[in-house]
Structure 1
Amino acid sequence: MKIVHLVPSMESGGVEQVVMELGSGLAARGAENIVVSAGGRLVPLLEKEGSRHILMPIGKKSLATFFRIGALRALLQAIRPDILHLHSRVPAWVGYLAWKKLPPEDRPGLVTSVHGFYSVNRYSAIMSRGERVIAVSNCIRDYILSHYPSTPEDRIRVIPNAISPEQHYPGYSPSREWLTGWYMAYPELKGKFTLCLPGRITRLKGQLDLIPIIRKLLEQGIPAHAVIVGETKKGKEEYKNEVLREIERAGVSHAFTWTGHRQDLRDIISTCSVTLSLTRSPEAFGKSTLEALALGRPVAGYAHGGVKEQLDAFLPEGNISVGDTSAMAALLARWYAQPPPLPRQIPSPYNIEDMIQAHLDVYKELASRS
């Protein structure tokens, strides 16, 4: 089995993490896994775990990107994969058009993964054109069927993103060395009720909503402290400055810590009191919230999208109406007084081995048909 994945880059993000996990798991099962992207910080690890990376910038929203259709078609003819898996819209267009230009007898099975609630238009419709379409949650399946009704229902497979029970389990705690370094870097967090908000610094992730939540908790005498974990990508600096101005205007600057991009999110989540999801637009899945639940840590989030699916299954008390910062603050105040009980195990289909096997089953289904 030979699989080619197309992604914009291997820098950071949820899609890239899924491709990393698939690469490691498929390679361990004897598949030849190839990732085509513009490169990035994750490439060395990707290759170390058994995948091959081919550098080709196919993710930039530019007319020049489409001049690489011929090069990608030639690459596919040389590699002759069993499966072409498209994970993002611009690479999907390039990949789909290159695939269409192959002789029908030479075309690999075509798989698309819908990783998000994309804007509904012809540009996004490409993600529903796979011979098999993978939805990362039930709400994404509903989104596909609602907005792209020409997609045959029997082509869609729901395969949730997942966690490794060997890495994320109740009772996990960071090493003493890590804790020493953490509190040396951020001494202001000692003894605080820490609220972790993971994710890149964009309006989508809801950092602004954290400000009234922190203010309300502090007014009640609760030693709340926000821990914002995520990088500020190019073009998002002004939004971060807007958040900083609002924090200062609210008088809560002392209760916010920004860590930037971190590779040790598991340790951070397991150390913080609560993990939050404050997205005003629904998330397709919510990997960090699932990781927190698997670690036995409380999660509170706005009740929509993939995060609501997780909370409905594992911690219904954590669901809060979208945008209701007062209700969120009230819930967190109760949890400060008495943390909620949490499930001791995140079951199938949220196990990473299940996720990898489900992908492999889809690939085999298409490959055997070919």
Structure 2
Amino acid sequence: MKPLKVLQLLPALDSGGVERGTLEIARALVAAGHESVVLSKGGRLVEQLQREGSRHIARDLGRKSPATFLQYRALRKLFEGERFDIIHARSRLPAWVAWLAWRGMPAGARPHFVTTVHGMHSVSRYSAIMCAGERVIVVSDTVRDYIRTHYPPGRWPHLTDERITVIPRGIDPAEFPREYQPSDEWVARFRAEFPQIAGRKVLTLPGRLTRLKGHHDFITIVGKLVADGLDVVGLIVGGEDPKRPGYAKEIRERVQAEGLGERIVFTGHRSDVREIYAVSECVLSLSSTPESFGRTVLEPLAMGRPVVGYAHGGVAEILGELFAHGAVAKGDVEAAARRVADVLAARTPVVEHNTRFLLAKMQAATLSLYSRLHSQHRA
């Protein structure tokens, strides 16, 4: 089979799960001898993308303006000139413009059109474009069930089950190795930076300081464990949301008001989360809304670190696969505190080895989908 020429479209290449997934597939395409092209308005990850062998086309399809839709004519010319085999749209507005361009091409000359539903978008005709691909990739069973519920075949006859493919996100075991231990130098620096952790059992809540991440529940859980005589310290690992500074102030004031200033530490944004997971006795996931996947649950579990979390969305899938004992009902802080206490007392089973949520599996499944779709076209 001849090498494929694949175009991925997204708004920008700065940071985030969509961007990470785009680079991971681009890297796999290049490694397999295919031609990888990414279209976005640019960003800090462009240099890495190009260094890893892909080509970048700078075009802003993410600006929410009627004028953005008018770019479909120029995009159609691009498609016709480049003769892509696969077009893979990863975000709603770029998907709309790409679909308008693609729809206007002669059927026999069109590339194949693939979409990925990364999250549970608001239900609308605008969001429905992510279900318009000839193949629709979803990142978890949760997202598959969501689009099946809200875009049923009775109203959306093209969205049949055979068009939907679940390809879970994955991680590289080399990046988050099981039983990883940070260097003595890192441990010394971290303890010097946060002396409150000395001699205490570390509990970690990763995630940006937004209300959805469950920081108030985390404070409640740490307070309960301290009241029960357990010598714990809670790390809130994540930067403040610049759009909502009042929330960060709110949770910091609550920590002080409840006398937990020495028991709950705000680390801010960190680039060494792997090391923080490694020194944590338990990681928590307390989001009030279901997540489409749950990378901050998978990463510590892959390292063998227990996670206690609210069992909904993609988090429930990951916990069910790797550490079912850590799953509790959403909002049940009493149960969460008991499960954390079980972890601290070594009354839990060991974390299962991660054999499902692997980066290599995600890459292979995506490239296989491209190849099967292209082969059908040739047949």
By the TM > 0.5 criterion, same fold?
Answer: yes
User: Partners in 1 of 2:270 and 2:47 — Cα distance?
Assistant: 17
Residues 169 and 345 in structure 1, CA contact (< 8 A), matched pair in contact too: no
Where do 5+ consecutive residues of structure 1 fail to align? none
Which of 225, 244, 251 in structure 1 is aligned with 2:252? 244
What is the aligned partner in structure 2 of residue 147 from structure 1?
150
1:196 and 2:198 correspond: no
Gaps of 5+ in 2: none
Per-residue deviation, 1:358: 0.5
Given candidates 100, 105, 110, the residue that maps to 1:102 is 105
Q: Give the match for residue 56 of structure 1.
A: 59
Asked if the contact 1:211/1:250 (under 8 Å) is kept, the reply is no
Letter in 1 for 2:339: L
| TM superposition shift of 1:152 | 0.7
Q: 1:317 Cα deviation (Å)?
A: 0.7
Within a 5 Å distance, the mapping from 1:287-298 to structure 2 comes to 287-298=295-306
Distance 1:303 1:344 in 2: 17
The 5-angstrom pairing of residues 323-334 of structure 1 reads 323-334=331-342
Query: Given that residues 204 and 277 in structure 2 are in contact (C-alpha distance below 8 angstroms), is that contact kept between their aligned partners in structure 1?
Result: yes
Q: Percent identity?
A: 44
Alignment of 1:161-240 (within 5 A): 161-240=169-248
Q: Does 1:131 align with 2:138?
A: no
For residues 289-328 of structure 1, the C-alpha deviation after alignment (integer angstroms, 9 at most, x for no partner) is 1111110000111011111111112211101110111211
Residue in 1 that maps onto 2:76: 73
- In 2, Cα distance between equivalents of 1:38 and 1:340: 48
Q: What residue in structure 2 maps to residue 360 of structure 1?
A: 367
1:16 corresponds to = 19
Corresponding residue SS for 2:235: strand
TM-score (ref. length: structure 1): 0.92
The CA distance in 1 between the partners of 2:149 and 2:98, in whole Å, is 25
- Cα deviation for residue 90 of structure 1 reads 2.3
Number of residues paired by the alignment? 369
Q: Partner of 1:30 in structure 2? A: 33
CA–CA separation in structure 2 for the residues paired with 1:13 and 1:139:
20
Report deviation, 1:127: 1.1
Do the aligned partners of residues 65 and 234 (structure 1) sit closer, same or farther apart at CA in structure 2, a change above 3 Å counting?
Answer: farther
Larger Rg: 2
Does the 8 Å CA contact 1:170/1:344 hold for their aligned counterparts? no
Whether the 8 Å CA contact 1:10–1:37 is kept in 2: the answer is: yes
**1:234 CA drift (Å):** 4.1
- 3-state DSSP class of the match of 2:62? coil
Aligned counterparts of 2:212 and 2:288: Cα–Cα separation in 1? 6
SS in structure 2 at match of 1:253: coil
Q: CA separation in 2, counterparts of 1:327 and 1:298?
A: 15
Q: Which amino acid aligns with 2:105?
A: L
| 2:197 maps to amino acid | L
What SS does the aligned partner of 2:136 have? strand
Which string of whole-angstrom CA distances, capped at 9 and with x for unpartnered residues, describes residues 161-201 of structure 1? 11222333322222333333333333333323222222233
Instruction: Say what the alpha-carbon RMSD is for the aligned residues.
Output: 2.1
**Aligned-partner Cα distance in 1 for 2:242–2:70:** 25
Which piece of structure 1 moves more, 286-295 or 186-195?
186-195
- Please identify, of 313-322 and 136-145, the stretch whose mean Cα deviation from structure 2 is larger: 136-145
Moved more, 172-181 or 319-328: 172-181
Provide the C-alpha distance between the structure 1 equivalents of 2:110 and 2:248, rounded to a whole number of angstroms: 45
Q: Are residues 176 and 224 of structure 1, via their aligned partners in 2, closer, same or farther at CA, if it must alter by over 3 Å?
A: same
Given the superposition, is the C-alpha separation of residues 81 and 327 from structure 1 closer, same or farther in structure 2, using an over 3 Å criterion?
Answer: same
Pairing partner for 2:9 from 6, 24, 28: 6
Structure 2 residue matching 1:213: 3-state secondary structure: helix
How far did residue 238 of structure 1 move? 3.2
Matched to 1:189, the amino acid is I
With 182-191 and 318-327 compared, the bigger mean Cα shift is at 182-191
Label 1:143 to 1:297 Cα distance change in 2 as closer, same or farther (>3 A): same
Q: For each residue in 1:230-281, what CA deviation from the matched residue of structure 2 results, as whole angstroms up to 9, or x when unmatched?
A: 3334423333333333333333233333333333322222222212111111
CA contact (8 A) 1:314 1:342 kept: no
Letter of the 1:119 partner, please give it.
S
Q: What CA distance in whole angstroms lies between the structure 2 residues aligned with 1:223 and 1:62?
A: 54
Query: CA–CA distance in 2 between the matches of 1:136 and 1:172?
Result: 27
- In structure 2, the CA distance between the partners of 1:114 and 1:185, relative to structure 1 (3 Å rule), is same
SS at match of 1:25: helix
Q: 1:30 to 1:212 in 2, by over 3 A?
A: same
TM-score w.r.t. structure 2 length?
0.90
